[in-house]
Amino acid sequence: MTDPAKKIQKIYTILKGNYPEAATFLVHRNPYELMIAVILSARTTDEQVNKVTVKLFAEYPDPPSLMKADIKDVERIVFPTGFYKTKARNIIGAAAGVVEKFGGNVPRSMDELLSLPGVGRKSANVIRGHCFNKPAVIVDTHFSRVAKRLGLTEAVDPGGIERDIVSLCPKAIQTEFSMLLNVHGREVCTARKPHCSSCPVSSVCSFFCNN
């Protein structure tokens, strides 16, 4: 298939049939909790983050309580996620930013989200897509790998990959498409050995067709 926009639509339709419930794996009840969870998710597993946030949100249920937290206590709680000193500093700083700059509410715009410590484009897109129903192409390691193998992008940096997919993918399905590629990367198109023989999108996959 040569038209990349049609190819994306076909991949979306097939993967949606295979993963009808694709959603973020980070457990959260509101934008504050997702913002903190996604900051903590850098270089660790979602499962580990979900264990930690149960304890964290029991003690610090909202931005005002977290911004006033003793950093040593926060470091102790987030320790299992790795990089705990930086993450503790960032989540306290992000909570303070939400209170001091945005009236206690997690902001919706990309620029406002990027002004918060620890929030990069991927995190901001996760929040915008899942909490505020904004179009969001969420570029993580799974998404990048699968998008490249499928032949949807040749970019090597996350910003370039995001731009390529944004230009091809209808806004209405960008967030869902992101999650579908993410779950497909976790379950079938795995990093070390993609399971191409059982892949439902192999007929339109550049990697499969060229090997």
Q: For binding to ligand SF4 (CB under 6 A), which residues are involved?
A: 146, 149-150, 188-189, 194-196, 199, 201-202, 205, 207-208
51: left (phi over 0), alpha (psi -120 to 50) or beta: alpha
* Least distance in angstroms from the C-beta of 101 to ligand SF4: 41
Token couple for 200: 């439902």
Is 70 designated active site?
no
Least distance to ligand SF4, CB of residue 18, Å: 11
Instruction: Say which of 10, 62, 140, 148 is annotated catalytic.
Output: 140
Q: Which is nearer to ligand SF4, 86 or 202 (CB)?
A: 202
Please tell me the distance from the alpha carbon of residue 94 to that of residue 75, in angstroms, as a whole number: 15
Instruction: Closer to ligand SF4 by CB, 111 or 211: give it.
Output: 211
Structure tokens at 31: 């934008």
C-beta of 35 vs 152, nearer to ligand SF4: 152
* Minimum distance from residue 88 beta carbon to ligand SF4 (Å): 37
- 8 Å CB contact between 40 and 49: yes
Catalytic residue among 122, 134, 164, 171: 122
User: To 5 degrees, how large is the angle CA 43–CA 48–CA 53?
Assistant: 110
Residues 6+ apart with CB under 8 A from 136: 125, 126, 128, 129, 130, 174, 175, 178
Residues in the chain: 211
Smallest gap from residue 187 Cβ to ligand SF4 (A): 10
User: Is 122 a catalytic site residue?
Assistant: yes
Q: Which residue number, 137 or 146, has a Cβ lying nearer to ligand SF4? A: 146
Active site residues: 122, 140
